[in-house]
Structure 1
Amino acid sequence: MGKFIGIFACLLIVSLDIIAGVLGIRAEAAQNEEKHLRLWIFECKEPSHDAYVLGLAAASILGIAHVLANLLGGCSACTQEEIHKASPTKQLSMACLVFTWIILAVGMSMLVIGIISNHKSRASCGFTHHHFLSIGGILCMVHAMFAVAYYVTSTSALD
């Protein structure tokens, strides 16, 4: 029964992250469909409501996947001394946890920048801001790999 729950948890985390990634990439596509005028490195463009909604959904689902991975994997904060004395599996688990937080921070930042640039009240002119939503979407998928690695190593460290 425990293995079934573990497989289900991994599939759920991966599914959520892939859905968030696809939504981020689709938000980028919706943003690119809007009219824009470009002169060298300056660009004026209309905000896209579809890109705004898809980006917001991607950021929300990424957050849910991260919380779920941390809750299921167990959050075991250790001191520096305990980490050095821990088994290699426990150290790998902590490294995966750190990477998931870093990827979450960067991916969420990219998605939020894309969301803000597509807010209804922002018809912006300025430097080009390309691919924030698609980069955030790709990082959602990278988050899936490290979140599953964290879950697997943290639960195997408990055994």
Structure 2
Amino acid sequence: MGKAIGILACFLIVALDVTAGILGIKAEAAQNQEKHLRLWIFECKEPSHDAFVLGLAAAILLGLAHVIANLIGGCNICNREDLRNASPSNKLSLACLVFTWIIVAVGMSMLVIGTISNKKSRASCGFTHHHFLSTGGILCMVHAVFSVAYYVTSTAIML
């Protein structure tokens, strides 16, 4: 892949992840504007349609950024023998790949939990679910860092 295309792909991944992060944080703000009654660890609140839409958009953008990062990064280590004989740069690439998968799993889970709690049919009482959307939004931005690091280390191996 050409150098200019690689730089453009990195900017695209960062733009998608940062946008997803901002949407997650805005979804949290929209959720906090709704009426709620709290008694110890139990909370009754009305769902926010804006938080639902923003959270769903953030989850979609995070997934899209992750797919793009994995497609352009490729896979350089396919078995244990490759891992034993790998250079430090290759091992760093694998570590970044593993971190991106962990971050996307946790971030996507947080965004989905926050989004589902704002579904129209979920107007009920239960345990408090604070900061899922904003934490998922922050993890989107962390995903951008590790995705770009993964791309840079995986393409540095090929040079």
Instruction: Say yes or no: TM over 0.5.
Output: yes
Give a deviation string over 1:105-135, Cα, whole Å, max 9, x none: 0000000000110011001211111000000
Whichever residue aligns with residue 48 of structure 1, its letter is S
Return the offset for 1:77. 4.5
Do the aligned partners of 2:77 and 2:83 also contact (CA within 8 Å) in 1?
no
Which segments of 5 or more consecutive residues in structure 1 lack a partner in the other structure? none
d(CA) in 1 for partners of 2:56 and 2:145? 22
Return the alpha-carbon distance in structure 2 between the equivalents of residues 103 and 63 of structure 1: 11
Partners in 2 of 1:91 and 1:24 — Cα distance? 32
Q: How does 1:8-157 map to 2 (within 5 A)?
A: 8-157=8-157
Superposed displacement of residue 75, structure 1? 2.8
- In the alignment, the residues of structure 1 paired with residue 75 and residue 141 of structure 2 have an alpha-carbon distance, to the nearest angstrom, of 22
SS for the counterpart of 2:37 is: strand
Q: What TM-score results when the alignment is normalised by the length of structure 1? A: 0.97
Describe the SS at the equivalent of 2:126.
strand
Aligned-residue sequence identity (percent) comes to 77
Displaced runs of 4+ in structure 1, greater than 6 A?
Answer: none
SS in 1 for 2:120: coil
Verify the 8 A CA contact 2:76 2:90 in the aligned structure 1.
no
Distance in 2 separating the partners of 1:5 and 1:79:
29
TM-superposed deviation, 1:59: 0.2
Rounded to whole Å, the distance in 2 between the matches of 1:10 and 1:128 is 37
SS in structure 1 at match of 2:58: helix
For structure 2, the residue ranges without an aligned partner over 5 or more in a row are none
Residues of 2 paired with 1:133 and 1:80: CA distance? 37
**3-state secondary structure, aligned to 1:121:** helix
Q: CA deviation at 1:82?
A: 1.1
Please tell me the root mean square deviation across aligned C-alpha atoms, in Å: 1.1
| Letter matched to residue 84 of structure 1 | R
Residue correspondences, number: 159
Give distance in 2, aligned partners of 1:92 and 1:84.
Answer: 13
| TM-score normalised according to structure 2 size | 0.97
User: What code does the residue aligned with 1:27 have?
Assistant: A
Aligned residue identity for 1:40: W
Does the aligned pair in 2 maintain the 1:47–1:118 contact within 8 Å? yes
DSSP 3-state at the match of 2:125: strand
1:117–1:124 Cα contact (<8 Å) kept: no
